[in-house]
Amino acid sequence: MEVRTRFAPSPTGYMHVGNIRSALYTYLIAKKHEGTFILRIEDTDQNRYVEGAVEKIYKDLKSLGFVWQEGPDVGGDYGPYIQSERKALYMEYAKKLIESGHAYYCFCSQERLDDLRNKYAENNMTFMYDGICRGIDDIEAAERIKNGEKCVIRFKMPKTGTTSYDDVIYGKLTFKNSELDDIILIKSDGLPTYNFANVVDDYTMKISHVVRGNEYISSTPKYKLVYDAFGLEMPKIVHLPMVNKPDGSGRKLGKRDGDVTFDSLLEKGYLKEAIINFMALLGWSPGGENEIFSLKELEENFSIDGISKSPAVYDQVKLNWMNGLYIRKEDIEYITELSIPFIVDAGFMTKSEAEENKEWIKKVVGAVRGNVEYLAQIPEHIGIFFGEGVTPENDEAREILVTEDAPVVIKAFKEKLENISEVSEEFVKGVFKEIQTETGIKGKGLYMTVRVVLTGQCHGPEMPEILNILGKDLMIKRLGKVVE
């Protein structure tokens, strides 16, 4: 069987955690089986359409590395790949269901439906259409349509028996037909509903696997019955486990719950490589102790068998840990490019200054990246490299500068700097040994004194990095404010 998967987002807003994970798993299933990954835009809900959202979807998916072989922008044999451009096709298939007796025209007004819905609510019952239009024959329906009466096309659900389908993750699932509503297939504006468009599109695009969140488990028997009415085989259904909030409530993570959009994660300085890795583990187990995977490694190792039935938890602590690991292991040039906007926004440098001093910024980022979990934290750690003077950060630092040895060390270090043309590797390696030999001062009294007078802190980057980054002139200025 040729594997053909599709990611079908709606252009109604930004990509959130659920979108990213669905796109990733859909992509990985296709790659694992050397199949075709398809992008389809589901824009049948025109009321919620957001201008520019389609272009944003393209940009985000490309940024993540999820390359599609068929889609609105690249074409393919089964297009168009935007639902609003397939309107005639949906009507054609809906009329086939009317002709076979599996669907009917419904002329109920919105007022009647609202009244019916209120009655159900008053009795604490789940709303179901009462099927009053099921008995309208073809002649009456045609006449009412001719007279301009608004209508929708509904599917005629069986009222007895059960419907079952096999879920790749959850196994065989069975539902009572009496609990299935007569879903709308075509709305009064002629556009299909999500429920119907999916069936038609997945069939006509020859989709082999449908990957979606398990909130659609109870809707799938409706799709199954539509497939059955056409005499078609339903694709393999892969329902992904829910992603829950990290608060232990067991509630689903929602779009409004903090940093759950792709953009919000990027804005805080989470790396796309870490985001992909983290999302892959939200419901999938690699079957070993290793949890760090590049996208290429995920393509090779991913398996549907590793998808869990149990809910995943959006663990912010784990995401932070994983992102910090990626910040440390990725190429410093790459991390520097990503860090510059945060440094500029924090007011340390202008954009042009950052471009002119990129090599120096690379040293700064390299010195502090081991202490950050996401790049928005970079500004918190780089203040020691800016400004002509520093202030001891706490009592511990202040106490170091008032010891008997401090003036001796500071003066000796300043003299060493004044006798060189620039800070070299040789100077960095030998300066502390020379001062120790000349003054007899060693250990904390030597190293910590120089650290505090140069940075105001007792802890931070390694001393060789500090000396290299600050340079001769800035260090002399800082030392000069303490000892003349």
Which two three-digit tokens encode residue 211?
């990957």
Residue 189, C-beta contacts closer than 8 angstroms, at least 6 positions apart: 46
348-352 long-range contacts, CB within 8 A, separation 24+:
348/379, 348/382, 348/383, 348/386
Which residue is catalytic, options 119, 206, 255, 477? Answer: 255
Cis peptide before 80 (omega within 30 of 0): yes
Which two three-digit tokens encode residue 141?
């329906």
Is 255 tagged catalytic? yes
Could you write out the DSSP letters of every residue in 164-216? EEEETTTEEEEEEGGG----EEE-TTSPBPHHHHHHHHHHHTT--EEEEEGGG
Cα Rg of the chain, angstroms: 32
Q: Tell me 16's DSSP state.
A: B
Within a 10 A sphere around the Cβ of 73, how many other Cβ atoms? 12
Decide: 186 and 324 in contact? Cβ < 8 Å. no
Rounded Cα gap, residues 314 and 17, in angstroms: 9
Could you write out the DSSP letters of every residue in 50-106? -TTHHHHHHHHHHHHT---SBBTTTB-TT---BGGG-HHHHHHHHHHHHHTTSEEEE
Rounded Cα gap, residues 437 and 439, in angstroms: 6
Rounded Cα gap, residues 474 and 480, in angstroms: 10
Q: Which residues are catalytic?
A: 255
